[in-house]
Amino acid sequence: MSVHVTSEELQRAAESGLSPERLKAVICHLMSGCAECRTLAREAVFPSRPREDDPLPPDLEAAYEAVLERATDFACRVERLPPGERDAFQKAHVLLGSGGKRGDLFSLSRKGVRLASLGACEALLAWAWAVRFDNPSRMYELARLAAEQAEALSPEACGARELADFRARAWAEFGNACRVADQLWEAERAFGKAFEFFASGTGDPRLKVRLHDLQASLFGTLRHHALAARSLDVVAELYRQLGEEHLAGRTLITKGLYIHYSGRTEEALALNAQGLASIDKEREPGLVALAVKNELLYLVDSERFPEANRLLFDNRRRFRGLGRIVALRVRWIDGRISYGLKKWLSAEEIFGEVAQGCEEAELGFARALVGLELSATLLRLERAAEAEREAAMSLKVFISLGVAWEAVGATYLLIEAFRMQLTTAELIEQAESTIRYIRRLQIEMGW
């Protein structure tokens, strides 16, 4: 785009009044880093702020970046819809984002949205993707509705083979939502349907790589880490053939996580760095934050705590606005760094926050594990009675989950160590040994 964006265009973009092509051009121009136009955009997003050159506070900056990311996704989805479906998409998109009963089908139909339409299905998929870091259950529900409604679409909407492509994409996105929501059997079934529809479609290479990309994430969640890594090698090469170096770099970042889970942390660090060097950081700032989060995890698991602490200090601002689940994971890593640096009071405070956050997010396994880490910290602070209560709470959570009985047995041993009134040093050794063992189970459980 050779000219700057005007205030009028930004206002029309906010009201979905631009053509898809122009909207996409505006967003790409903003993402390219034009300081003048990004200042105008900040005014449009935060009209109550005075027009000044001083930077936004970190929370508002993160919110601004989130708005840009959603707008980019919006523009791309509108652009690939037939012109006759764009109004349905825009209306459904606004309604789904306005709250209420999570934008269910009844509320959409009451507002006059054609449910069995490409536009409505695309809007459901758009919001399922938008909430992936904040609300896995909503992501699951919206993607499920999209896949079900895609089945009801008529070939007249876009053509039989093109409709098969759309159904393949909808079922793959639903499969990914099932994975995020820990509905793994349902995820496998959904991917099976996605590839079945793909076989009847146009053979679109971009759709093919997207299906393989999402399925590789399922392989990783199912603990098939070697298969996930091999799948991502194929995905990266397919992206390169399409000229998508950014997406190939994203794939390397994801592969690094599975390589780490396989116990090859140094190789994971190298892949992460290679992926970071390949991506367009302006195009997807959130991906940079996720890559840094992965690097933090690798460093902490390698007990390189001072290096991890410096990396966290330099990048705290990146993690704002990425959603509560990612924020919770980063905060947990922060607690582990404090513990590794023997900052016991700081570790106690952080692990307490994370435990509460896990309860609110209904992350039972994580809540139990961080409870054990809090128990070990309390032992370091010579508060054995409180430490025993935390360990007992973790045991109760593990039992209630009905999974990972190895974790139950290991925690029972720790409780017995408390009851035997071992020395503080012996209890600390037992607690840390239990944590290391259950952390390996955590990787296998896919949290």
Over 70: is that where the pLDDT of 24 sits? Answer: no
Q: What pLDDT shows up at residue 36?
A: 63
Over 70: is that where the pLDDT of 100 sits? Answer: no
More confident call, 95 vs 75: 95
Residue 237 pLDDT class (50, 70, 90 cuts): very high
Of 297, 195, 211, 213, residue with least CA distance to 249: 213
Over 60: is that where the pLDDT of 53 sits? Answer: no
Pair 366, 442: CB distance under 8 Å:
yes
Q: Quote the radius of gyration of the chain (alpha carbons, Å).
A: 24
Q: What pLDDT shows up at residue 109?
A: 56
Share of the chain above pLDDT 90, in %: 52
Tell me how far CA of residue 315 lies from CA of 146, 288, 308, 309, 346, in angstroms.
Answer: 36, 10, 11, 10, 19
CA dist 377 and 348 (Å) reads: 6
Pair 353, 333: CB distance under 8 Å:
no
Which of these ranges, 62-66, 150-154, 196-200, 243-247, has the smallest mean pLDDT? 62-66
Only one residue has tokens 């399409």, namely: 242
Task: Kindly report, residue by residue over 287-296, the tens digit of the pLDDT.
Answer: 898 999 999 9
Q: What pLDDT shows up at residue 426?
A: 95
More confident call, 324 vs 65: 324
Task: Kindly report, residue by residue over 132-167, the tens digit of the pLDDT.
Answer: 877 888 899 999 999 998 998 888 878 899 999 999
Over 70: is that where the pLDDT of 61 sits? Answer: no
Residues near 255 by Cβ (< 8 Å), separated by ≥ 6?
228, 229, 232, 233, 236, 271, 275
Residue type for position 393: M
Task: Kindly report, residue by residue over 164-222, the tens digit of the pLDDT.
Answer: 999 999 999 999 999 988 888 999 999 999 999 999 999 999 999 999 999 999 998 88
pTM: predicted TM-score of the whole model, two decimal places: 0.73
CA dist 364 and 34 (Å) reads: 44
Which of these ranges, 22-36, 163-177, 204-218, 251-265, has the smallest mean pLDDT? 22-36
Share of the chain above pLDDT 70, in %: 77
